[in-house]
Structure 1
């Protein structure tokens, strides 16, 4: 009969199911695992489950220790709330050594406000420059890192001082050509994103910028060296410019001006890029959800 199971068959079935699930997990690259752990930890942090959040933040950091300063700071806040000051200090110092955490961000991160009187904050602030030096000592190509920094600084300077637009375009062209040369020799530099972003007006066109960067970055994504969501903002900007509508809901404060295309499936599209659902963005960052949006999978996505 259908309800009569052989125990041995059941054990084999469950073993195969477990191996299938494990195999699916193993097929994820480190960036995908990193994002899942980070998102799960952020939800736990918001639910004040600080010990769990700390564990998952640290697991993510172990996968990608140089990826993002924010994850270190939230991990630190988790440790502080869990009354683990030694771990908090360790994480803060690591954030500077591994990500070049800016001092302004360190001094103004809101989740630290209740703990500013702790001795560890004064100690780290007093030694900040030596910690920054450690970051540069660990770099393989510190001169290139500093040069990309200078490209970004020039990019912002010409936009903030009223420079004539023709001159802005000229400097943008010089910057992107230099970034191409640097990428060819040293690989993608994360801080170069802003220089590339200011080429977004021609995104997808047949020109020397995209003929180099699109296949190069696509290949890095396939290899698991860069996040799947790299092009999401470029695609979003292109859709807004051309169709006056969003694809992924990345412009949170412009839902009325630029509504989301096929909003019922927006979380599915976001998931394909490794982006969390919009309900997550509401819970973690307090965004106002767009009209017509319905939460889906809120109780199962991060279980």
Structure 2
């Protein structure tokens, strides 16, 4: 499915004319493959070429480049691109700390200096935002979106760390074929829902999603499409190719932005994957390339459940 979508993206880009996002996406795809194949010097060149074209709404390409530099024992280059990932890519501290490629440099002097400089680097990122009030309002809409989807966690007292630890322990239990612990950690990750709470949560989600999408339409009409609002539109995904007041507005707008080179053609890939998943009854993982589900927590190739 992913290969088919990638081929369609390539075909469509030639059909409609190359945009800067087409070039960026192609270079990033090549760089990611080179990094996976441990061809780090060439990967670095591809990442640099891509980031010369545009600055993405993600710190991941910057950090991927820095990881390649670390593999070549070039801490100076890694330092430069980690800093750019914060100052230009907008990486939050949690992502900086948890990025797997940096796991072995946590105690390195240069990395500790980056941590010390984090606030000033992050301020540089905020200084590049055209309309900080709209940016903050989108953050507020996103926070509402995520809050109603985590009611079960708040009621049960589960933290993100609890869930993450349970998932790691589940993997170990599955490898050891430990049925007792498999059941234990499955119950921690997927607790039996309280019907009363679930009904309330579903009602709140419907209302919050409705209010959010109405406000997003107002913001978009006045200020244009806001890339960080993707998660809000994502929760209208079930009928994204049908006629309704939401998609009759957003679908032509997004398509025009794509053709004008303001949005990646990858925008629709997760929506199409979701539609195909529903059609086939395969409720697995949706890969969203470089577009985050919720960059508050993590970036790049996430499992989308909400």
Please confirm whether the aligned pair reaches a TM-score higher than 0.5, indicating the same fold: yes
Aligned to 1:106: 96
1:215 aligns with 2:252: yes
Question: What is the total number of aligned residue pairs between the two structures?
Answer: 231
Give the equivalent residue in structure 1 for 2:177: none
Note the C-alpha offset of 1:250.
Answer: 6.4
Asked if the contact 1:236–1:250 (Cα under 8 Å) also holds between the matched residues in 2, the reply is no
Q: SS at 1:116's partner residue?
A: coil
Equivalent residue number for residue 31 of structure 2: 41
Shift of 1:239: 2.8
* Change in CA separation of 1:34 and 1:206 when aligned onto 2, cut-off 3 Å: same
Residues 40 and 56 in structure 1, CA contact (< 8 A), matched pair in contact too:
yes
TM-score (norm 2): 0.69
**Contact 1:72–1:95 (8 Å) recurs in 2:** yes
User: Is 1:91 the equivalent of 2:81?
Assistant: yes
Who is 1:195 aligned against?
A: 232
Q: Which residue of 2 aligns with 1:79?
A: 69
What is the rounded CA distance, in whole Å, between the counterparts of 1:202 and 1:227 in structure 2?
Answer: 21
1:186 and 2:176 are equivalent in the alignment: no
Pair member with larger Rg: 1
Q: Can you give the 5+ residue segments of structure 2 that lack an aligned partner in the other structure? A: 1-13, 153-199, 291-300, 302-306
Moved more, 177-186 or 210-219: 177-186
The corresponding residue for 1:68 is: 58
Q: Decide whether the 8 Å contact of 2:151 with 2:201 is kept in 1.
A: no
* Alignment partners' CA distance in 2, 1:73 and 1:118: 16
1:79/1:85 contact within 8 Å kept: yes
Mark the runs of 5 or more structure 1 residues left unpaired by the alignment: 1-23, 253-272, 275-284, 286-303
Structure 1 residue runs of 4+, over 4 Å off?
Answer: none
Does residue 1:239 correspond to 2:229, yes or no?
no
The farther-off stretch of 40-49 and 73-82 is: 40-49
* Structure with more contact order per residue of length (Cα contacts < 8 Å, sep ≥ 6): 2
